[in-house]
């Protein structure tokens, strides 16, 4: 039976349109989903929108819309990222859907029935924009740490007995050292949990735009308990536990570093308290700045993924984000750097390789691949790097190190270009046609594997490459990687892979 794999993005708040930061997490998740499918796994890939809370209600009111109409509109912009960036989610969840309300309430009821939730009084400084409470000592000059104004609030609230889960959490982290990745995030979380946990306020009585607390119409659930439950909703919880059993043990939550705590402390504690199983891993990636600055509406530097895709194509954007930045660490987005990578890596290294090899076959062999396999030692040395590359790429993907995976694939591309330069097919045309046939066969073997390796990262271009060398659809998965390249018929006409752009135009 195929291995099951479940990958999730955070669900995006609908108080802002999608930007390059939201696109970043979704692209990363998509590469994992596609890669695992190529490995033959049964993959679920979940993304969606987080639609409740005070900020959403306020934004809707400002625009004179009902919260639901407002959510419908903004959620549609996030859904539109799927075709734009070539994403392949198997489910798009909205927290305002009936199935989600049912799942979140079922989780609450499980917790309540097990004595894990109680009614108490909450008092603190409340930051409305962030929907977060702060203690007196956390305020900076009377404002929240993010600089927003705060109001003092005392209200009834339900609490989750988070404090009771400190030891079980520490035990869990010890027994599952890969639960929090990368390592340095793990250490931060360990220190935080070791310093003690307070019970967590999990309801709001001053708010109506949320999921009602079961059996107490005066409260709605706090956004985070509502939001985290989305990962269960998509698996058919609570109606069936079948998918939960199947997918949960191999579930990876990709999140931005700022929401690591919610996913690595609150979420496993809630699940343990509800006696539900735990996901395999939470991987926290870093934040993107734009030209060295924090992205913000006030600075006017928010990058819209639509503009980028229109200018450079989805593949260049996908490639750039995952190649330029070490996944896990913060990184900078700059259009100039994107242009440089597009020209150097994609158009020069990859595009030219494919172009120069295939144009030979079109020109001198009437588009019929001259398969000739009396390989020399040099040929074999070149070809044997590809299985090693696949091995390393698989390891890097399991560690969620996209930049390393791409670097490794590029070793193959650079080696292929070097092989062309060494073999000089343009001279062989005149001097040794038999050897030319061998050399072109070797290069097609290489290009075939490069195309297969790149499929999850730059799907449009990789499929174009595989189409141009007439690879059957079923031979594009890793199970065929070790079998010889076998074209189905002659080669179709050449397509342009990447067009160079002016590097200093912006």
Q: Which residues bind ligand MSP (CB under 6 A)?
A: 10-13, 21-22, 24-25, 50, 227-228, 230, 255-256, 259, 287-288, 295
Query: DSSP string covering 443-503, please?
Result: HHHHHHHHHHHHTTTSHHHHHHHHHHTT--GGGGSGGGTTSPP--SSSPPPP--------T
The least CB distance from residue 262 to ligand MSP, in Å, is 7
The smaller minimum CB distance to ligand MSP, of residues 261 and 339, is found at 261
The smaller minimum CB distance to ligand MSP, of residues 22 and 461, is found at 22
Percent composition of the chain: helix, strand, coil (DSSP 3-state, to 5):
55, 15, 30
The smaller minimum CB distance to ligand MSP, of residues 3 and 296, is found at 296
Identify the three-state secondary structure at position 343. Answer: helix
The smaller minimum CB distance to ligand MSP, of residues 10 and 351, is found at 10
The least CB distance from residue 28 to ligand MSP, in Å, is 9
The smaller minimum CB distance to ligand MSP, of residues 12 and 173, is found at 12
Residue 279 sits at the vertex; the CA angle it makes with 274 and 283, to the nearest 5 degrees, is 130
The least CB distance from residue 353 to ligand MSP, in Å, is 32
Q: Which of 423, 440, 397, 408 is nearest to 43 (CA)?
A: 397
The least CB distance from residue 176 to ligand MSP, in Å, is 20
Q: What are phi and psi of 122, to 5 degrees?
A: -110, 135
The smaller minimum CB distance to ligand MSP, of residues 230 and 461, is found at 230
Q: Are 99 and 259 in contact (CB under 8 A)?
A: no
Q: Which of 36, 4, 8 is nearest to 250 (CA)?
A: 4
Residues 6+ apart with CB under 8 A from 45: 6, 7, 8, 29, 30, 32, 33, 88, 89, 90, 91
The smaller minimum CB distance to ligand MSP, of residues 179 and 485, is found at 179
The least CB distance from residue 371 to ligand MSP, in Å, is 46
The least CB distance from residue 57 to ligand MSP, in Å, is 15
The least CB distance from residue 228 to ligand MSP, in Å, is 5
The smaller minimum CB distance to ligand MSP, of residues 232 and 428, is found at 232
The least CB distance from residue 311 to ligand MSP, in Å, is 20
**Cis omega before residue 182 (within 30°)?**
yes
Q: Are 446 and 438 in contact (CB under 8 A)?
A: no
For 40-182, where are the alpha helices, taking DSSP H only?
54-62, 67-79, 81-85, 98-113, 166-175
């Amino acid at each position: 039976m195929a291995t099951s794999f479940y990958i999730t993005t955070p669900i995006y708040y609908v108080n802002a349109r999608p930007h390059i930061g939201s696109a970043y997490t979704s692209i990363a998740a998509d590469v994992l989903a596609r890669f695992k499918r190529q490995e033959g796994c049964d993959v679920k890939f979940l993304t969606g929108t987080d639609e409740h809370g005070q900020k959403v209600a306020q934004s809707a009111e400002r625009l004179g819309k009902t919260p639901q109409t407002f959510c419908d509109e903004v959620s549609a912009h996030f859904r539109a990222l799927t075709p734009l960036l070539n994403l392949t989610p198997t489910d798009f969840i909205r927290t305002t859907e009936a199935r989600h309300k049912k799942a979140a309430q079922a989780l609450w009821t499980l917790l309540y029935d097990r004595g894990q939730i109680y009614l108490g009084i909450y008092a603190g400084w409340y930051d409305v924009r962030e929907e977060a409470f702060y203690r007196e000592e956390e305020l900076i000059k009377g404002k929240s740490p993010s600089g927003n104004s705060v109001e003092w609030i005392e209200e009834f609230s339900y609490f989750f007995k988070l404090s009771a889960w400190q030891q079980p959490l520490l035990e869990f982290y010890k027994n599952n050292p890969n639960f929090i990745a990368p390592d340095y995030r793990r250490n931060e979380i360990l220190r935080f949990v070791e310093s003690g946990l307070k019970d967590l306020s999990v309801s709001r009585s001053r708010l109506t735009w949320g999921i009602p607390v079961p059996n107490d119409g005066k409260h709605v659930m706090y956004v985070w308990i509502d939001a985290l439950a989305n990962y269960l909703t998509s698996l058919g919880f609570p109606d069936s536990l079948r998918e939960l059993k199947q997918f949960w043990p191999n579930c990876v939550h990709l999140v931005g570093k700022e929401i690591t705590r919610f996913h690595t402390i609150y979420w496993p504690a809630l699940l343990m308290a509800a006696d539900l199983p735990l996901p395999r891993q939470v991987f926290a990636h870093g934040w993107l700045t734009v030209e060295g600055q924090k992205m913000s509406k006030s600075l006017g530097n928010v990058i819209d993924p639509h503009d980028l895709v229109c200018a450079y194509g989805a593949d260049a954007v996908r490639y750039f984000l995952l190649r330029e930045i070490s996944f896990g660490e913060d990184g900078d987005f700059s259009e100039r750097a994107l242009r440089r990578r597009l020209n150097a890596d994609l158009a020069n290294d990859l595009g030219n390789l494919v172009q120069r090899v295939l144009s030979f076959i079109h020109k001198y062999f009437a588009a019929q691949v001259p398969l000739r396999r009396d390989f020399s030692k040099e040929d074999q040395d070149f070809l044997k790097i590809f299985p090693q590359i696949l091995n390393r790429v698989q390891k890097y993907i399991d560690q969620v190190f996209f930049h390393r995976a791409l670097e490794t694939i590029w070793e193959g591309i650079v080696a292929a270009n070097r092989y062309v330069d060494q073999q000089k097919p343009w001279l062989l045309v005149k001097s040794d046609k038999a050897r030319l046939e061998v050399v072109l066969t070797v290069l097609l073997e290489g290009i075939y594997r490069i195309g297969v390796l790149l499929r999850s990262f730059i799907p449009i271009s990789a499929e174009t490459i595989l189409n141009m060398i007439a690879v059957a659809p079923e031979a594009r998965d890793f199970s065929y990687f070790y079998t010889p390249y076998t074209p189905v018929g002659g080669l179709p006409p050449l397509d342009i892979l990447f067009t160079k752009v002016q590097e200093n135009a912006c």
